[in-house]
Chains A and B, each alone.
Chain A
């Protein structure tokens, strides 16, 4: 770490974060957001900055089972919590569904959308239209028409209700 005397007015310290099932030690300033820490300190660039004030949802991760916009959470607030990023999501049905339904184009909003959809499907495996809308309207996709994303989510919903 390059640091100089008096470089920061904000204090820094080393914290331990549980990211994708691994304990990671990382030096953060108290002012560092979780998003900045994930991308800049841990090399997890799947979470995307889009607005840095919670408007777009491109940085959505999963914290203790709930979707969280990582630009709105400080890294120090994530201590003691289980954080999952898109890199920690492997072969989830929603990922396959996104591919199958062409639910992305440029792909920039996709990690955030998938993390949000994944949490939705875990919390509400039989979500109705209203619930899906409530959850997904927090993210912006500028390329698709949202119909593709709706189809992807619903294809996994049906799978859940039919399979279990």
Chain B
């Protein structure tokens, strides 16, 4: 391998360190109007009256949209009016839009819109939503349009209920000698990408709808707007430049719809809608919360015989992607362990909270906290090394997943190897607990995780290769560059396959749904896997065409030709051959006659054999492969005031193969950082009216420089035979084990079992007080 695995510098590196890299909000034109939202100040309230009269008097105001009924939007369930009518269901929900000439005019006018509300009882947690007498978030749940795989229960707050029924529970419990049951919960939080979401829309006279958006799903924007509003799909052209961080949060489609409606309201003039930080945190989709109960039974040897699990996901006011998150949570509900007898109910609940988008890990970091804390409780009860308990239960080839997919050496990684390697890196043999003095103690906590990617069964990825006349190649893929460096990795895959210099491959960073082949969505750690397969196929296609032209020009059979270093040449005499530049636009003989044609490589890929899940048992194939990982977190705990310092965080993940070493390490370390912040400090604080009290980066605090621990990263390489050069998904896994490992470390250190996130000193103090 010449290029795969090398730390190739990212293709957009120079732009990013010089301020030239452009994101959606960096595109501005003189005629572009500014749109501002009016948002709900309450979690649940009836809209009694909206008075826009004062706002209309502000100079520069061109349109105000309020109280207008549009088709309902949403993904699995069409339950969301783009702009609230009748009532508001969460704090931050858009209630009106103002379009004005400048941002300050739009803001002035928006502030002058007076909305009269009548408060309604608030559903403030999924557990509350689940109670029989809970107020209803959606009274007309039975009337909504549904996609396949969603099962709302009218008359309740259940947006969807997924069931996993596997094995024989009676048998499982009778074989269990030790049983542990525990409950866990945490409120929603946020992705907090540094680029707040932004969308612009313009409807040009020929009817084309031009949208630019900071999105992970530009092709979904096209499909949904066509579907919601009956527009011709081909007339919707969605452009996505570089995206300033996404982590799942930009997979939901929201501002694009509002910008489109705003532009329509002003005769198609270009309109920009940019979230403030506060709107980005509460108005746009957030990170899902969870109430979980886990019951595990093990036999004398520590082998899990039965598991009963209930997840109540806090989908928030609208189901959007939360239905899929709940489904994903059911699919991998046990964590990476072999469980023969399994009963799981995964409910997507409506509450009066901001609604949930995917979040890096897509249900797995969340369920992993519940499972991994329970595993540690079990290890304590059995008096067993926590890694040992995980090791003997580790999922392996030959086992079946909760949805009964039979695993083999390719479609699941090697968890036992990950555990062994983490123990080594993390110096596990030195012990989990080290007393520093009377006050400080250092403790190591551990965890494991796994994940498959539950994406649409027909999700495509496409690639087009064109040539420049110097023989260099342009690579166009619908993968969005959200920061993961995937487009550089696609170039590496192409360079490897063509055996050429990666510098001679030019990558188009921007996606445009009219000219870039579709990549379903840049989510679920699928960019490298699916985009990479499409690149390989496109390379094959281009090589075939190049060889055909060269075969004719060289008067040699195609089968005798090889490709390397941007040349096609004879296998037994590489000196006889032609450079790409002489054949990529056909071969021209000295007399001018030309044979062949412009070479355009095309490739596409769809994951094979994915199915829907059986609604009664959950049986089905939800994803292509399971990436596994093992983790450790070491903290120094202050027994006096329950504060702690992060010392080390460690992840070993079975990546199949490393495509770009520094990029891979960066993905894993960055994910650990985000996971530790989620576990240790990030949450929405709600009041009794369902208001988020901390929608700012000074009260909602991601990790800052110097607050980070030392990071240790290790890779196990069990090739996924279908992946490009054996690669598995990678982008999410560093995050998934952090809440469990940190929770386990702090539970040991504090001597009290911790069941909530974020793990702040006050939470530990409360838990200590409760058992006094």
Contacts and interface: CB of A to CB of B under 8 A. Distances in A.
B325 to A, nearest CB: 20
Contacts of B104: 8, 29, 31
Interface in A129-147: 132-133, 136-137, 139-147
Interface string A31-72: 100000001100011111111110110100000000000000
Contact of A146 (B13, B244, B247, B708): B708
A105 B245 CA distance: 8
A49 B16 CA distance: 15
B276 interface: yes
A53 to B, nearest CB: 7
A4 B60 contact: yes
Interface string A1-39: 010111110000000000000000000010100000001
Interface string A77-90: 00000000111011
B705 A136 contact: yes
Contact of B22 (A45, A99, A139): A45
A121 interface: no
Interface stretch (B190-198, B415-423, B751-759): B190-198
B60 A143 contact: no
A105 B485 contact: yes
A53 B698 CA distance: 9
Contacts of A110: 16-17, 21
A22 B101 CA distance: 29
Instruction: Choose among A53, A85, A107 the residue with the greatest number of B CB atoms under 10 Å from its CB.
Output: A107
Given A50-B277, A52-B277, A105-B483, A144 B194 contact: no
Interface stretch (B157-165, B283-291, B341-349, B662-670): B662-670
A48 B12 CA distance: 17
Contacts of A133: 705-706
A2 B710 CA distance: 54
B242 A146 contact: no
Given A52-B277, A55-B696, A87-B18, A108 B23 contact: yes
Interface string A106-125: 11111100100000000000
Interface residues of B, number: 63
A50 B194 contact: yes
Contacts of A147: 669, 708, 710-711
A143 B674 CA distance: 8
A56 B194 contact: yes
A58 to B, nearest CB: 6
Interface residues of A, number: 59
Nearest to B674: A142
A86 B242 contact: no
Contacts of B21: 107, 110
Contacts of A87: 18-20
A142 B702 contact: yes
A133 B244 CA distance: 24
A137 B703 CA distance: 9
Contacts of B20: 46, 87
Contacts of B101: 2
User: Is the contact region of chain A dominated by helix, strand, or loop, or is it mixed?
Assistant: loop
Contacts of B10: 99, 102
A89 B12 contact: no
Nearest to A97: B17
Contact of B662 (A46, A98, A102): A102
Contacts of B663: 102
Contacts, number: 171
Nearest to B677: A142
A108 B194 contact: yes
A2 B10 CA distance: 41
User: Is the contact region of chain B dominated by helix, strand, or loop, or is it mixed?
Assistant: loop
B194 A141 contact: yes
A49 to B, nearest CB: 7
Nearest to A100: B9
Nearest to A51: B277
Contact of B28 (A8, A40, A114): A40
Interface string B185-229: 000000011111000000000000000000000000000000000
B7 interface: yes
B550 to A, nearest CB: 37
B669 A52 contact: no
B483 A140 contact: no
Given A51-B697, A145-B711, A102 B193 contact: no
B59 A6 contact: yes
Interface string B117-145: 00000000000000000000000000000
Given A49-B25, A105-B483, A108-B194, A145 B17 contact: no
Contacts of B482: 106
A46 B18 contact: yes
B572 interface: no
Given A102-B7, A140-B194, A149 B669 contact: no
B18 A95 contact: yes
Given A102-B662, A106-B244, A7 B60 contact: yes
B243 interface: yes
A72 to B, nearest CB: 13
Given A55-B697, A149-B705, A106 B17 contact: no
Instruction: Choose among A5, A39, A102 the residue with the greatest number of B CB atoms under 10 Å from its CB.
Output: A102
A4 B18 CA distance: 37
A142 B193 contact: yes
Contacts of A98: 17
A104 B195 CA distance: 14
A31 B12 CA distance: 35
B195 A48 contact: yes
Interface in B31-88: 59-60
B194 A137 contact: no
Given A106-B482, A109-B194, A114 B243 contact: no
B197 to A, nearest CB: 12
A106 B194 contact: yes
A153 B25 CA distance: 29
A151 to B, nearest CB: 11
B706 A102 contact: no
A52 B276 contact: yes
B721 interface: no
A7 B697 contact: no
Contacts of B525: none
A137 B13 CA distance: 23
Name the 3 nearest CB pairs between A and B, nearest first. Answer: A46-B19, A106-B483, A108-B244
28 contacts: A4-B59, A7-B105, A31-B104, A49-B25, A50-B697, A53-B696, A55-B696, A56-B194, A86-B18, A99-B10, A99-B14, A105-B666, A106-B194, A106-B483, A107-B15, A108-B193, A109-B194, A110-B17, A136-B705, A137-B704, A139-B705, A142-B194, A142-B247, A142-B674, A142-B702, A145-B670, A146-B706, A148-B669
Given A40-B28, A95-B17, A141-B705, 20 more contacts: A4-B60, A7-B59, A7-B60, A31-B104, A48-B195, A86-B19, A87-B20, A89-B19, A90-B18, A99-B17, A104-B16, A106-B193, A107-B17, A110-B16, A139-B705, A140-B192, A142-B192, A145-B670, A145-B708, A148-B669
Interface of B: 7, 9-10, 12-23, 25-26, 28, 59-60, 101, 104-105, 192-196, 242-247, 274, 276-277, 482-485, 662-663, 665-667, 669-670, 672-674, 696-698, 702-708, 710-711
